[in-house]
Amino acid sequence: MIDREHEVSIKRQAELVGISRGTVYYQPRPVSPADLALMRRIDELHLEHPFMGARMLRDQLNRSGGAVGRKHVGSLMARMGIAALYRKPGTSKKHPRHKVYPYLLRGLLIERSNQVWALDTTYIPMAKGFVYLTAVVDWVSRKVLASKIAITLEACHAVDVLQEAFRRYGAPEIVNTDQGSQFTAIEFVTAVKDMGRKLSMDGRGAWRDNVFVERLWKSVKYERAYLYAYDTVSDARKSIMEYMDWYNQKRAHSRLGKKTPDETYAERMSPVRVAV
Residue 197 covered by a domain:
yes
Q: Are residue 73 and residue 137 in the same domain, yes or no?
A: no
Residue 207 covered by a domain:
yes
Q: Are residue 177 and residue 234 in the same domain, yes or no?
A: yes
Residue 106 covered by a domain:
no
Q: Are residue 256 and residue 134 in the same domain, yes or no?
A: yes
Residue 253 covered by a domain:
yes
Domain of 22 in residue numbering reads as 10-80
Which of 59, 80, 101 finishes a domain?
Answer: 80
Q: Are residue 64 and residue 161 in the same domain, yes or no?
A: no
10 has a pLDDT exceeding 70: no
Instruction: Report the pLDDT value the prediction gives residue 276, as an integer from 0 to 100.
Output: 34
Residue 99 or 11, more confident: 99
Q: Number of structural domains, the chain?
A: 2
Non-local (6+) Cβ contacts of 183 within 8 A are 119, 155, 158, 177, 201
Q: pLDDT (tens digit, 9 = 90+) per residue, 34-81?
A: 888 889 899 888 888 888 889 999 999 998 887 899 999 999 988 888
What is the rounded average pLDDT of the residues 167-176?
Answer: 96
Mean pLDDT of the chain: 84
Q: Determine the angle formed by the axes of helices 70-80 and 54-63, rounding to 10 degrees.
A: 110
275 has a pLDDT exceeding 60: no
Lowest mean pLDDT: which of 13-17, 82-86, 185-189, 217-221?
13-17
Q: Are residue 128 and residue 70 in the same domain, yes or no?
A: no
What is the rounded average pLDDT of the residues 157-182?
Answer: 94
Residue 215 or 148, more confident: 148
Residue 219 or 18, more confident: 219
Residue 85 covered by a domain:
no
Q: Are residue 70 and residue 161 in the same domain, yes or no?
A: no
* Short-list 211, 192, 215, CA closest to 202: 211
Residue 122 covered by a domain:
yes
Q: Are residue 125 and residue 261 in the same domain, yes or no?
A: yes
What is the rounded average pLDDT of the residues 15-29?
Answer: 53
Instruction: Report the pLDDT value the prediction gives residue 26, as an integer from 0 to 100.
Output: 42
Residue 135 covered by a domain:
yes
Which of 80, 100, 132 finishes a domain?
Answer: 80
Question: Is residue 117 within 8 Å of 145, Cβ to Cβ?
Answer: yes
What is the rounded average pLDDT of the residues 172-190?
Answer: 93
Residue 239 covered by a domain:
yes
Q: Are residue 47 and residue 132 in the same domain, yes or no?
A: no
Q: pLDDT (tens digit, 9 = 90+) per residue, 76-113?
A: 988 888 888 764 433 334 555 668 889 999 889 999 99
Question: Is residue 138 within 8 Å of 217, Cβ to Cβ?
Answer: no
* Short-list 95, 120, 93, CA closest to 177: 120
Instruction: Report the pLDDT value the prediction gives residue 252, as an integer from 0 to 100.
Output: 94
Q: Are residue 63 and residue 149 in the same domain, yes or no?
A: no
Which of 80, 98, 125 finishes a domain?
Answer: 80
Residue 169 or 213, more confident: 169
Query: Is residue 271 left, alpha or beta, with left meaning phi > 0 and alpha meaning psi from -120 to 50?
Result: beta
pLDDT band of residue 261 (cuts 50, 70, 90) is very high
8-state DSSP, 151: S
Instruction: Report the pLDDT value the prediction gives residue 49, as an integer from 0 to 100.
Output: 85
In this structure, what CATH number is given to the domain that contains residue 207?
3.30.420.10
What is the rounded average pLDDT of the residues 152-157?
Answer: 92
